[in-house]
Amino acid sequence: MSINKSYAVFGLGRYGRAVAKELAKSGAEVLAVDMDEDIVNDAIAEIPYCKCADVTDAEVIRRLGIANVDVVIIAMATNLEACVMATMLCKEIGVRTVIAKCSSEMNCRILSKVGADRVVFPENESGMRLAKNLLSSGFVDLVELSKDVSMLELEVRPEWEGKNLLELNLRRKYSINVVAILQDKEVCVNIDPEKPLEKTMRLIVIANTSKLSKLR
């Protein structure tokens, strides 16, 4: 996922607003929706495209053009019924990726069963971190270790397959340091730099946050 995709955020509580704000700040196309007009009016200064609407209504979903959105983030965890309905409506009209915030493990199972492609616990993943992960095309996960340094999990790109770390010289090209390789749920920290990379591998790397644009 990346800045080139379009996003919609349903629910502008603290979590939803943080996601929408970070997406908008990064230049992504994002539509933010909430049923509370006061909340919408307060958020417009930070998120240009805000609408006051009921996303549990199929006709409203249609009018908002959600069928044309690449990723929908449903951030209404306190209202499970609304989350379930919004998730189902989005999947019915063909939204490729629906991410739902949930308040319990049971709610996560329910939302997954009705079509959510991914569920998140807000206490484990901040809204800002989710937005950065969405914008970071090719990054499976990103964790900020400090203001300047991040740890990320990268998929092996097609052009890297069959080549080893010595050949690729990722440190020079992308300013990243590979610290581990993940494959078949096994993490290897004793890396053989001459072993060819495979599509099923993922690289755990540490990078200067300011250099991440090289990887996008």
Q: Are residues 25 and 40 in the same domain?
A: yes
Residue 41 included in any domain: yes
Last residue of some domain: 135, 155, 178? 135
Decide: pTM greater than 0.85: no
Helix axes 105-113, 80-92, angle to 10 degrees: 20
Q: Which two tokens stand for residue 77?
A: 């965890």
Instruction: Based on the fold, state whether residues 32 and 130 are members of the same structural domain.
Output: yes
Rounded to an integer, what distance in angstroms lies between the CA atom of residue 163 and that of residue 36? 53
Confirm whether 50 is domain-assigned: yes
Domain count within the chain: 2
More confident residue, 131 or 170: 170
Q: How long is the chain?
A: 216
| CA separation for the pair 81, 117 (Å, rounded) | 17
- Could you tell me the two tokens for 209? 């946050």
Spatial distance between the Cα atoms of 64 and 61, rounded to a whole number of angstroms: 5
Q: What distance in Å separates the CA atoms of residue 102 and residue 85, rounded to the nearest whole number?
A: 14
Measured CA to CA, the distance from residue 4 to residue 2 in angstroms comes to: 5
Tens digits of residue pLDDT in 8-53: 999 999 889 999 998 998 888 999 999 999 999 999 999 999 999 9
Question: Which of 83-116 are b and which e, b meaning 16 or more Cβ less than 10 Å from the residue's Cβ?
Answer: bbbbbbbbbeeebebbbbbbbeeebbebbeeebb
Q: What is the pLDDT of residues 118-162, one digit of tens each?
A: 888 765 455 556 666 665 555 555 555 566 777 777 888 889 999
Decide if 1 is inside a domain. Answer: no
pLDDT digits (tens, 9 = 90+) for 68-92: 999 999 999 888 899 999 999 999 9
22 with 129, same domain: the answer is: yes
Residue span of the structural domain in which 87 resides: 6-135
